[in-house]
Amino acid sequence: MKAYQVMFFNAIVLIALGIYGFTIPPHSPTALISTAIGLILLVLAFFVKKENHIIAHIAIAITGLSFLLFIVVGLLRHNSMIILMAIVTLLSLVFYISDFIKRKNEAKSKT
């Protein structure tokens, strides 16, 4: 998989779980925070597909910050859905970092 595909998948999961969390009672508007993060990542995924490295770094920073947000809030509230968002976001972050290391090593070996 490519980085933009992983970002797209992560965004769809965050949007879907955020909307689902909002629709179940008590209809907390804070559930839409993950939806907003997902929408931002969804838009950024199209720029990452075009190999825009600055946008890719911004998206990775947003992913890292959102992981921290989800893991802290999920553990404090003992909410399994938020912890699931954190796990998916962490897997995306690990993929981005491993992909970056792989690309850097490939560039080194070419020179």
Taking the chain (111 residues) in runs of 10, the rounded mean pLDDT of each run is 94 96 91 96 95 93 97 95 96 94 90 71
CA distances from 60 to 40, 45, 92 (A): 12, 11, 9
| The pLDDT of residue 89 | 97
Q: What local confidence, expressed as pLDDT, does residue 110 receive? A: 83
Tokens of 109: 């070996």
Instruction: Give me the domain span that covers residue 105.
Output: 3-110
User: Given this model, what pLDDT does residue 4 score?
Assistant: 93
Counting the structural domains of the chain, the total is 1
